[in-house]
């Protein structure tokens, strides 16, 4: 079975995200703007019509003063390194004065310069986590309504013993887990090959709202059962606490961890 992935919803913060494009052919230095309140995933659209990579590409193509064509590719498919590559079809370019939160999200530690035909992030993109083993689930993750129906309830008992149960809205819950995730995919102390590829970092950013692009922690997490097929995914809200949902498979060996999340269908 192929690997799976989780992606967090990215909300462009108040004030927009901007960067300045300069090309080797000259023609000016246009400012590219990602509009506040637009939402994205790396592999799917949010409230915009395209995913974040496609929006970045379209913005670069439109702004290009010399009619160049750009490619923006996050390596989030099966076996991917999780890095972002931005390249141009001819000549060279730079992206400067890039918003620092956008840089970190894309996996870069500084402006894309000096001029080059292609730039590859030195870190794993944020808002995405790739598993390294098959997943399991109590119910089919792509089936609408598949899961355990749970109601929001409150109970009360009067002095005479009369019992009252108040029932509010209902939602459908599912449970997804991975039995053997490498320690380096879970904890920052597990010597990950690229910063932000760990579940710990993903959980802090997306579930605990540590980043400004995650104003609604745990809201609308997107689960892809197969990293090789971005067309198939399920949208969930996470029913969990602040702790990273991972435990060692064995007390005698900490190299493998079991990860389990409880989710409510969106």
**Cα separations (Å) of 196 from 28, 176, 181, 191, 256?**
35, 21, 16, 11, 18
pLDDT digits (tens, 9 = 90+) for 167-198: 888 888 899 999 999 998 999 887 777 766 89
Q: Give the E-state strand segments of the chain in sequence order.
A: 5-7, 10-11, 17-23, 31-34, 39-40, 70-74, 84-88, 93-96, 112-116, 118-120, 128-130, 135-137, 148-157, 163-182, 221-224, 234-238, 246-250, 253-265
What's the pLDDT band for 166 if we cut at 50, 70, 90?
confident
Overall pTM surpassing 0.75 (yes/no): yes
For residue 129, what pLDDT is reported? 96
> pLDDT tens for residues 37-70?
999 999 999 999 999 999 999 999 999 999 999 9
Q: How confident is the model at residue 252 (pLDDT cuts 50, 70, 90)?
A: confident
State which H helix or E strand residue 244 sits in: none
pLDDT (0 to 100) of residue 256: 92
Q: CA-CA distance, 6 to 128, in Å (whole number)?
A: 6
pLDDT at 188: 86
Res 29: pLDDT: 97
Q: With contact defined as beta carbons under 8 Å apart, do 232 and 206 qualify?
A: no
pLDDT score of 251 more than 80? yes
């Amino acid at each position: 079975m192929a690997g799976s992935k989780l992606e967090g919803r990215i909300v462009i913060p108040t004030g927009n995200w901007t960067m300045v494009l300069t090309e080797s052919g000259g023609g000016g230095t246009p400012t590219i703007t990602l509009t506040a309140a637009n939402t994205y995933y790396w592999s799917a659209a949010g409230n915009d019509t395209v995913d974040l990579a496609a929006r970045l590409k379209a913005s670069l193509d439109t702004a290009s003063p010399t009619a160049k064509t750009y490619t923006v590719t996050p390596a989030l498919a099966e076996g991917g390194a999780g890095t972002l590559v931005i390249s141009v079809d001819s000549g060279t370019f730079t992206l400067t004065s890039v918003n620092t939160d956008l840089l970190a999200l894309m996996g870069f530690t500084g402006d894309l310069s000096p001029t080059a035909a292609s730039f590859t992030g030195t870190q794993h993109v944020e808002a995405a986590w790739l598993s390294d083993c098959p997943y399991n689930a109590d119910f089919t993750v792509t089936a609408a309504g598949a899961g355990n129906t749970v109601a929001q309830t409150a109970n009360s008992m009067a002095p005479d013993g009369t019992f009252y149960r108040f029932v509010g809205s209902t939602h459908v819950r599912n449970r997804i887990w991975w039995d053997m995730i490498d320690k380096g995919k879970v904890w920052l102390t597990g010597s990950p090959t690229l910063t932000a590829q760990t579940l710990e970092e993903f959980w802090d950013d997306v579930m605990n709202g540590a980043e400004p692009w995650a104003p609604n922690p745990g809201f609308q997490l997107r689960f892809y059962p197969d990293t090789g097929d971005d067309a198939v995914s399920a949208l969930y809200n996470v029913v969990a606490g602040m702790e990273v949902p991972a435990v060692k498979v064995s007390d005698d060996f900490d190299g493998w961890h079991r990860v389990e999340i409880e989710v409510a269908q969106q």
